Amino acid sequence: MRWPTVKYEEKMQRFFYRLGESIGEYPWRWIIALILFTVVSSVGFLRFHQINNARLQFTASDSPSHYEGRVLEEFLRQNGSLNMIEVMIRARDNGSLLRDDHLEQLQSIMTEITDTVSVNYRGQPLTFNDMCEPYCKKNEPLRALLSLYSGNYSRFAVTYPVMDMLGQEVFIGANVYDVDLDEDGETIKGFRSAILHFFLVHKSRKVMIAWENKVVDLLYSDKYSLLNSGAASDNLVAMEIRAMGTKTAPLLLVAVFCLMIFLVLSSIRRRRRESKPFESILGALIPILAGITTVGIVSSTGLAFQSIVVSTLFLLLAIGIDDVFLMLSSWHRTDNTKDIKERLALTVMDSGCSMTVTSITNLISFGNGVLSTTPVLQTFAIYSTVASIICYLYQLILFPAILALTAHKEYKRVDEECTSCCLPEEIETVSVMRTKRENALKWLARLVTKRWMILPIIPTLIVFWALSVYGIANIETDLSVQKLALPDSRLVEFKNEYDKSLKAMQTYAVIVSNPGDLRDPTKYEEVKNMVHSYENASYAFGEKSTFFWLRPYEEFLQFYSSDGEDEDIAFTYKNIPDFLNNDMYQYYKGTLRINETACALNEPECIEKFLFSTGFTTLVKFAEMYPLIAEWREIAARYPSLNITAYTERSNFADQSVSLKPVIWETLYSEVICMGISFLVFIPDVISIASAMFSLISVNLGVFGFLALWGVGVDPLSMASLLMAIGFSVDISAHISYHYYENKAKSPREKMEETLVEIGWPTIQGALSTLFAMSPILLKPSYLGLVFLKTVFLVTVFGLIHGLVILPVLLNFFTSVFRRNQVHQSESSEAVNGVAPHRISIKSFAPPKEDR
C-alpha cells in the first residue's frame, strides 16, 4: 500500500535523472567546480584550533558542576590566570618515603621544583615562588613533617591526618597518602605516597605552561633514582587527548590503503574492460577530499577541533566507500548498449535515491547530537553532520563524473585493447564466483520467503532482546581520565596510582560567598553549624580532615587577647590581617578574600568570601560519587543566606555520569520518530516502512545492549558512537526496503530474489568496507577507537543479520498478510453485491452448433 508521498519520490527520481545527464555531458565542469569549492573551503584552516579540556568539554554545559567550578576558579585566581598542578611521588620499591635516602631525595626534588625550575618572562627568570602567591604554603605541612624526621626529632609523635607542632595543629592529610599507622590508629609509622599541590597565578598562561612542562621533564627524568614521580593537570590531560588524536590520525592512510585494495578486488568483472580498478581507487580518495572540505568549513565558523572528530574521518571513509559500491552496482545493471550519458542518468537516478535515504537517516542521527548540551558530543555531531552532507554530494557528483570520463573503454572492441595487457579479456573465475554468489543470494531469498521462517525468528528475537535489555539495565556510567589517553600514556599510570591512594581520603572545597556579619552570634553559629554538617555528611572523614581558618583564628584571639585566661572572646574583624600575616597561620592566607580597610574598621565587609576544605573517604569512581555530591548541594541549600558552593575536581565527571544515561532512550525515541517521518517521504509504502522501522529499533537495541555487555559504559565517547550506530544501523535496512519497494515483480519471492541479487552483495561489500575502514585502529588502540570499532562491528553484524534475514522475513510476512486481506475484502464486496464469483468461458459466446 503506497502513501500519497509517492509523488515526492517521483520528483526525486526525475531530479537525479537530470543530474546524471548533466554530469555525463559536462563531467569536467562538475569536477572543477567541486575542487574549487574544496580550495575555497580550505581557507577555513586559517582559523583551525583545538580544545581538549576534558573537565569542560565532556560535561553538559548546563551541569551544576560548571557553575561550581567557575566559583572556585574565580576565588582562587586572584589577579591572573590560574593553573593547578598535582605531583605524586612514590618510592620505586613501593616502600616508605620516611627512610633516610628516600626522605633526602623527596626534600631535594621539592626544593628543586619550587626554587630552581624557572622560565623566562620578559628577560627575567621566574620560579614557582614568583608565581605562587597566595598559595606558596600549600605544601608546607609536608615540608614540616619531613623536617621533623630529617632533624631526628623522633621523640615527636606525628599523628595523622593532623600533627601537633609546637602546640599548633597542622593538617598533613592533603599531602600524605598510603599511610601506615601504629597500633593506636593515629601515629604515623611511614607513608608511601606524597601528593604536592602547586597553584600558579600569573598574567601569562604560556609562562605557567612552560614551567609545568619543565617540572614534568624533571619528574620523569632519572635524576632522583629512588623515586617514581608523575604529574597531572587540566593542561596535561588535554595534551594526552590531543596526542590520542594526532597518533590515531595517520592510521587513516592505512585505512585508505586497505579500502583501495578491497575496492579494486571488488571492482573486477568477467570482462576486463568492464572492470573499474582505477575508478575505485579514485572513489576511495573522494572521502579524503570531503574530509578536507568538512574541516575547512567547520573551522571557518570558529568551532574548535577535538580529538573525537578523528573518528568522524574514519566514518567518512566508510560512508563514501559504501556509496561507491552502490553506484558501481547501479552502473553495471544499466544496459551497456546505451550511450554513456543515458547510463549515467539511470545510474544516478537509481543510486542517488538510495544514497539520499541513507544520508538523510545519517543526518537525522547526527542532527540529534547537534542539540546536545555536552560540548564534545555536540562538536562530534556538527562535524559528522557536515561530513555526511559533503561526502554525499561529492560521491553523488564526482564518482559519476569519473565514470563519464573513463567509461568509453567499455565500448572498445577487443582488438582495440592494448595487446601488452597481462590480463585476458574475459576472466572466467570472476564469472563463476558471481554465479555462485547470485545463486547463494537466490537461495537465501527462497529461504526467507518461506512462511515457516517466522516461527524460529520470533523466539530468536526474544532472546536477543532479553540480552540487550539486560545489558542496558546493567550499563555502567563512568568516564575516567584514563579512558581519554592512549593505554601507554604516562598519565594513565599516574591516574591509576593516584586513584588508589585517594581511596583513603581526598578533600573537597566549600566556598562561602556571603559570610554575613560574623559579629552576630546567630550568624557565627550558623557558619559553624554549616561546617559541622559537611564534616558529618556521608563518607566524611570527620573534623580532623577540615582545614578551616575560623578555629585557629579563635585560638589566635584567645592567645593574644585574653592574657592567658580561659574566657570567651567576642569575634572581631580587626585582627584578621595580623592573623594571616603570622608565620604560624600563613597557611590560611589563600582561603580568605579580605578588605583590610574594612577589617581595620571592624566591619563585615572585611571578609568578602572564604573557603574551607574537608575530607571524604572510600569513593573514587565518578558514578559512585554523585549521591555524595548531591548531598553536599542539599547542605548548601539549607543555608541559602551564606551562598555556599561545594566542589571537587570529580564533580564534573560525576554530573556527566548521571545526565547521560536517560539520553540513551531519549535519543532512540526521537530518532526513531524522525526516521519514520523520513521513510514516509522516501519509501512511501507501509509494509516497507513498518519492516524497516522494526529492524532499526531491534538493531539499535542490540547494539546498545551488547556494547554494555562488552564493557562499554555510558560516557560522551560511547554516546557519540551510539549516534553513529543509529545512523549506520538503518543503512542496510533502508537499502533493502527501498529496493524491495521499487521492485515491480509480482510475487514476494520474486521481489525478494531480485532485491537481494541487485542490492544484497553491494550491501555486504559496504558493511565489510566499514569494518576495513575502522580496523586500523587496532594498530594504535585507545578507548575512543575501540568504542567506535566495537560499535561498527556490532552494527555490521546485527545490521547484516537483520537486513538479509529478519527484514526479508518480515517483508514477506506482511506482504502476504496484506494481499490475503485484499483478496478477502474483494470477495466480501462481491458477496455483498449479490454476485457470486464465477468463471466466464469464451466458449459461451460461440455460436451454437447445428444439428446433424
Q: pLDDT digit string (tens) for 48-79?
A: 988 888 888 888 888 898 899 889 888 887 65
Identify whether the C-beta of residue 351 lies closer than 8 Å to the C-beta of residue 758.
no
Report d(CA 408, CA 279) in Å as an integer. Answer: 13
- Range with lowest mean pLDDT among 272-276, 656-660, 701-705: 656-660
Please identify, among 241, 267, 284, the residue that sits at the C-terminal boundary of a domain: 241
Number of domains in the chain: 3
Residue 76 sits in the same domain as residue 195: yes
Between residues 425 and 608, the one the model is more confident about: 608
Residue 532 sits in the same domain as residue 591: yes
Task: Read off the pLDDT of residues 304-321 as tens digits, 9 standing for 90 and up.
Answer: 998 888 888 887 887 888
In-domain check, residue 829: no
Residue 557 sits in the same domain as residue 438: no
Report d(CA 479, CA 57) in Å as an integer. Answer: 13
Report d(CA 307, CA 247) in Å as an integer. Answer: 10
In-domain check, residue 608: yes
Residue 43 sits in the same domain as residue 100: no
Residue 162 sits in the same domain as residue 128: yes
In-domain check, residue 760: yes
Task: Read off the pLDDT of residues 153-162 as tens digits, 9 standing for 90 and up.
Answer: 555 668 888 8
Identify the pLDDT of residue 266.
Answer: 80
What are 631's three cell numbers? 548531598
Report d(CA 502, CA 642) in Å as an integer. Answer: 30
Per-residue pLDDT band for 454 (boundaries 50, 70, 90) equals: confident
What are 240's three cell numbers? 594526552
Identify whether the C-beta of residue 540 lies closer than 8 Å to the C-beta of residue 616.
yes
Identify the pLDDT of residue 29.
Answer: 94
In-domain check, residue 844: no
Residue 97 sits in the same domain as residue 229: yes
Report d(CA 600, CA 612) in Å as an integer. Answer: 23
In-domain check, residue 494: no
Residue 84 sits in the same domain as residue 221: yes
Nearest of 283, 252, 479, 296 to residue 396 by alpha carbon: 283
Nearest of 60, 235, 240, 51 to residue 715 by alpha carbon: 60
Report d(CA 750, CA 709) in Å as an integer. Answer: 39
Residue 440 sits in the same domain as residue 588: no
Please identify, among 194, 210, 241, the residue that sits at the C-terminal boundary of a domain: 241
Query: In 3-state terms, what secondary structure has residue 620?
Result: coil
In-domain check, residue 838: no
Please identify, among 241, 269, 294, the residue that sits at the C-terminal boundary of a domain: 241
Residue 742 sits in the same domain as residue 771: yes
Q: Which of 3-12, 149-158, 736-745 has the highest mean pLDDT?
A: 736-745
In-domain check, residue 822: no
Identify the pLDDT of residue 851.
Answer: 42
For the CA atoms of 11, 16, 18, 23, what is the dihedral angle to 10 degrees?
A: 170
Q: What is the pTM of this model?
A: 0.81
Q: 93: which residues sit within 8 A by CB, 6+ positions away?
A: none
Residue 265 sits in the same domain as residue 379: yes
In-domain check, residue 13: yes
- Structural domain including 716 reads 6-47+249-409+427-477+660-815
Residue 678 sits in the same domain as residue 640: no
Residue 88 sits in the same domain as residue 11: no
